[in-house]
Structure 1
């Protein structure tokens, strides 16, 4: 009977002991933003946008303004913490705003607005910069654009490229500041 008693005790003892402690997770460092690469791609993007020629000469003289918060990207503003003093201490909010803008312009470049005028070099450079910024801030779902009227596409292209140039100018300044040695 003693061996059976020992066997029973050996089998039941683990049930009476507290469970083993869960392994302590080892913190994985978050990917760091490659500021120098972002600076270089944002400069390339800015130069590419500046060199795009308007195929419709009449539109070169027109400054378009259309306010539709559902269809146009967030702008980098004062509340986005992209100023030099804030960037040095906490750049998360600024990078999230840049990511939102880049994603929006990527959707625009792939939409029906640019069906007859693909800009593969611009798209490629934007994709590379987007990839660098997304490393740290994840990949949220890509928004879609509602189809546009055929007659409006040239105007919408012009407006999109004007706003992309403005956005890229500010974004390039952010990356240039953050990439500079301190």
Structure 2
């Protein structure tokens, strides 16, 4: 090939637009329908558990050792969920992780709940896809005699948490 034709070919290549960059992958988004179904299943499982010491009523002595609750300030109301659900999902993720840690703690060594743990793990992994892993907080060891009482309190709180969480996912998974 003559030098002039080679030069023309190179100049022609320089004038071509650069190849398009591959489209960025969309950020993973929450699968609201799957979260709705799993939160309903979790709620159903917690409701059907037989609680030890049903007649005992406990007062909470140290609220910072218990899982978070979904509060009004967490922006889980329908109008806010429709525009920005990040804050609410972070609260749900934090609560799910805390309950998962609680179910894996020594409080439940005498009473493992594998189906409940598996459903919680599935739901946790769906929410974590978009919002990452929350930090783990070590739980204080408990005495053997307090375990049934703490189990009851933990399951009551989990039941309340799943009821509100299920409403959030049901709203967000609804028809648009």
TM-score by length of 2: 0.84
- Could you tell me which of 45, 50, 53 is aligned with 2:47? 50
Instruction: Compute the displacement of 1:61 (Å).
Output: 2.2
- Could you tell me which of 8, 32, 35 is aligned with 1:38? 35
Within-5 A mapping of 1:19-168? 27-54=24-51, 56=52, 59-168=53-162
CA RMSD of aligned residues (A): 1.5
> Structure 1: which 5+ residue stretches go unaligned?
1-23
**Is the contact between residue 65 and residue 159 of structure 1 (CA under 8 Å) also seen in structure 2?**
no
Q: Which moved more, 1:147-156 or 1:163-172?
A: 147-156
Distance 2:129 2:61 in 1: 31
TM-score by length of 1: 0.81
Q: Which moved more, 1:63-72 or 1:148-157?
A: 63-72
Distance 1:77 1:174 in 2: 12
**Is the contact between residue 97 and residue 134 of structure 2 (CA under 8 Å) also seen in structure 1?**
no
Distance 2:38 2:155 in 1: 17
Instruction: Compute the displacement of 1:153 (Å).
Output: 0.6
> Structure 2: which 5+ residue stretches go unaligned?
1-20
User: Which structure has the bigger radius of gyration?
Assistant: 1
Instruction: Compute the displacement of 1:174 (Å).
Output: 0.3
